[in-house]
């Protein structure tokens, strides 16, 4: 499926790889700072080998300006079962998921930063990605394609603000709420809570402040309307009708974006329209994140809880924990695990069992019920080659247990069973850089923070 795009990506990687390798080496020779180097920040020097170790491709543009970037794509084969005779699953599907390109233009000392992230899922998975438990933007049990312009954010940073640092960001991207974009986390499949724990692809104005003690507060005003497709930009008309705040404390080794521990609490008040009726939903998220390099390897862990309170009807919740290890020489072995207990809305589906419409609903419809999901995901990835072109084969197993939570819809009617497996295998392909945390800007963005001017050590 979409073999033409697979060919295009393969040719592009083959053509770009030699130039990327040369530029990757040249950027270091020319003095552009590696994202994995040791950097001095507020409070002195700290090791960047933990959560902000991204080693992004960097190109000097002259006069202190730099261009940083990376690209990724994940050719994936997914299958699932068993299912009842009247409810046909997606069966085996092959597609290219999470094809994305990121570019950052940074002024001297990261005083200004421009972030552009393009996502090509509108081309490679127009019918969504097989993902039982997923929901949102008109897709159900199939993750929707993200918009072509995933991020377009301009940021001004004041590194020497009173008591710490200050950033102002505007454009299309993440509202300051919840946890990192799942695209930057170990499992390939997104969790069920994607629309409870992140607010993304919105037109937003954000302010961030980080104190020298590691306390940050972020606030944003944005448009609550979700995009209705990968090329929808009309949700800019809703700008200003929603808002969010996120408070976090960072501690342990490192500082700011590279701190090894991060505890956060978020709140959002989101307005959306459906069939001419305005609805407001309150969202809350609390999370604890840890990432640090130990003697045995790099450890990542996240626990979070999310909850929604819609203006009409009952809300939904999610409890999630996930972890990943990078072990062995050059962190080649990468096992990971995710646990999630969540409720998700059920909608009137647009098609009958056995058709693609069965995995779609009308974007503006209200939920007619809810199901409760217990999802365990375990996976293993192997780093077969290093940057600038990194190839990482992976295998991921997911087990779902589903029960009716409320309303008339139950798992046997939907799937023919209340417990089933899915399996995914493929390749993670990275060009110019590896995974990078996504969801914050300015002083909390690892790329801009790594290029900030060094503060005198105390």
Residue 19 resides in a domain? yes
Query: What confidence tens digit (pLDDT) does each residue in 96-143 have?
Result: 999 999 999 999 989 999 999 999 999 999 999 989 999 999 999 999
Query: Angle at CA 81, nearest 5°, toward 80 and 84?
Result: 140
Domain total in the chain: 1
Residue 55's nearest CA partner among 34, 69, 28, 73 is 34
The pLDDT of residue 369 is above 50: yes
Of the CA atoms within 13 Å of residue 203, those in its CB half-sphere come to: 13
In a domain, 457, yes or no: no
Residue that the structure tokens 């929707």 belong to: 144
Mean pLDDT, to the nearest integer, of 181-198?
Answer: 96
Question: 21 lies in a domain?
Answer: yes
Residue 455 lies in a domain: no
**What is the rounded CA–CA span in Å between residue 423 and residue 397?**
5
For residue 415, the model assigns a pLDDT of 85
pLDDT at residue 17 greater than cutoff 60: no
Helix-strand-coil split of the chain, %, nearest 5: 15, 50, 35
pTM over 0.85: yes
Q: Is 176 within a domain?
A: yes
Domain-located, residue 252:
yes
Q: Is residue 401 part of a domain?
A: yes
In-domain check, residue 154: yes
CATH number reported for the structural domain that contains residue 258 in this entry: 2.40.160.10
pLDDT at 29: 35
DSSP 3-state assignment of 441?
coil
* Structural domain boundaries, residue 223: 3-450
| Nearest one of 248, 204, 246 to 223, comparing CA atoms | 204
Cβ neighbourhood burial of 407 (10 Å; 0-12, 13-18, 19+): middle
| Average confidence (pLDDT) over 143-148 | 95
């Amino acid at each position: 499926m979409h073999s033409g795009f697979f060919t295009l990506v393969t040719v592009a990687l083959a053509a770009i790889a030699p130039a990327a390798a040369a530029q990757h080496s040249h950027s270091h020779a020319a003095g552009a700072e590696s994202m994995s180097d040791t950097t001095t920040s507020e409070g002195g020097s700290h090791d960047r080998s933990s959560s902000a170790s991204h080693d992004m491709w960097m190109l000097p543009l002259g006069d202190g300006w730099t261009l940083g970037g990376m690209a990724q794509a994940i050719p994936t084969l997914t299958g699932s079962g068993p299912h009842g005779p009247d409810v046909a699953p997606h069966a085996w599907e092959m597609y290219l998921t999470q094809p994305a390109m990121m570019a950052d233009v940074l002024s001297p000392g990261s005083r200004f930063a421009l972030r552009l992230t393009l996502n090509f899922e509108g081309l490679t998975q127009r019918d969504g990605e097989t993902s039982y438990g997923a929901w949102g933007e008109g897709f159900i049990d199939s993750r929707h394609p993200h918009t072509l312009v995933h991020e377009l954010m301009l940021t001004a940073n004041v590194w020497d603000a009173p008591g710490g640092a200050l950033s102002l960001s505007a454009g299309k991207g993440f509202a300051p709420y919840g946890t990192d974009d799942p695209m930057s986390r170990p499992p390939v499949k997104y969790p069920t809570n994607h629309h409870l724990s992140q607010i993304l692809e919105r037109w937003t104005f954000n302010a961030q402040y980080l104190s020298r003690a590691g306390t940050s507060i972020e606030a944003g005003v944005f448009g609550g309307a979700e995009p209705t497709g990968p090329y929808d930009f009309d949700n800019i008309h809703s700008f200003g009708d929603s808002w969010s705040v996120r408070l976090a404390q960072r501690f342990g080794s490192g500082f700011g974006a590279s701190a090894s521990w991060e505890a956060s609490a978020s709140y959002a008040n989101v307005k959306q329209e459906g069939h001419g009726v305005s609805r407001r939903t309150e969202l809350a998220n609390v999370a604890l994140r840890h990432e640090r390099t130990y003697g045995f390897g790099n450890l990542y862990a996240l626990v979070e809880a999310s909850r929604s309170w819609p203006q009409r009807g009952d809300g939904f919740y999610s409890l999630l924990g996930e972890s990943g290890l990078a072990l062995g020489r050059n962190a080649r072995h990468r096992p990971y695990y995710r646990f999630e207990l969540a409720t998700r809305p059920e909608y009137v589906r647009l098609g009958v069992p056995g058709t693609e419409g069965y995995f779609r609903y009308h974007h503006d419809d209200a939920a007619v019920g809810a199901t409760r999901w217990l999802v365990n995901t375990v996976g293993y990835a192997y780093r077969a080659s290093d940057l600038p072109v990194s190839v990482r084969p992976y295998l991921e197993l997911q087990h779902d247990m589903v029960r009716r939570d409320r309303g008339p819809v139950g798992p046997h009617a939907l799937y023919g069973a209340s417990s089933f497996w899915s399996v995914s295998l493929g390749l993670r392909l990275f060009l110019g850089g590896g995974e990078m945390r996504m969801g914050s800007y300015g002083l909390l963005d690892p790329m801009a923070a790594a290029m900030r001017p060094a503060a005198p050590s105390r």
